[in-house]
Amino acid sequence: MNKMKAAQVSKAGGGWELVERSIPEPGAGQVLIKVEACGICHSDMLVKEGHVPGIQYPRVPGHEVAGSVDAVGRQKSSSKQSFEPFHERHSAFSLNHFGGESIL
């Protein structure tokens, strides 16, 4: 299986760790993005520091990515657009979040 590198946080308040993960397959209504660059914003730091309730760790913060579509999952029947960040180095996003104000 193909691998990717990801910068993850293992626990709330933990440090950044460079890890290797399997590249995910995009699910229904998702695309796989080959990430070329990723910004870290204040909301990512809140996740890293454990200030967002309900977050599960290990976590790969970083939803402000730039890259290219590497694979497309099958279509969903829903027409509502949205995004769901998934992974860092390669990221899968639900197309259903596209119309929202924020992608986090």
Binding site for Zn ion (CB under 5 A): 41, 43
Cβ atoms of 39 and 17 within 8 Å: the answer is: no
Contact predicate 5/20, CB 8 Å: yes
Least separation, in Å, of the C-beta of 87 and Zn ion?
A: 16
The CA radius of gyration of the chain, in Å to the nearest whole number, is 14
User: 46 or 71, CB closer to Zn ion?
Assistant: 46
Task: Output the residue with the shortest Cβ distance to Zn ion.
Answer: 41
Q: Which is nearer to Zn ion, 43 or 71 (CB)?
A: 43
Token pair 């990512």 in the structure block, residue: 44
**Which is closer to Zn ion, CB of 43 or CB of 82?**
43
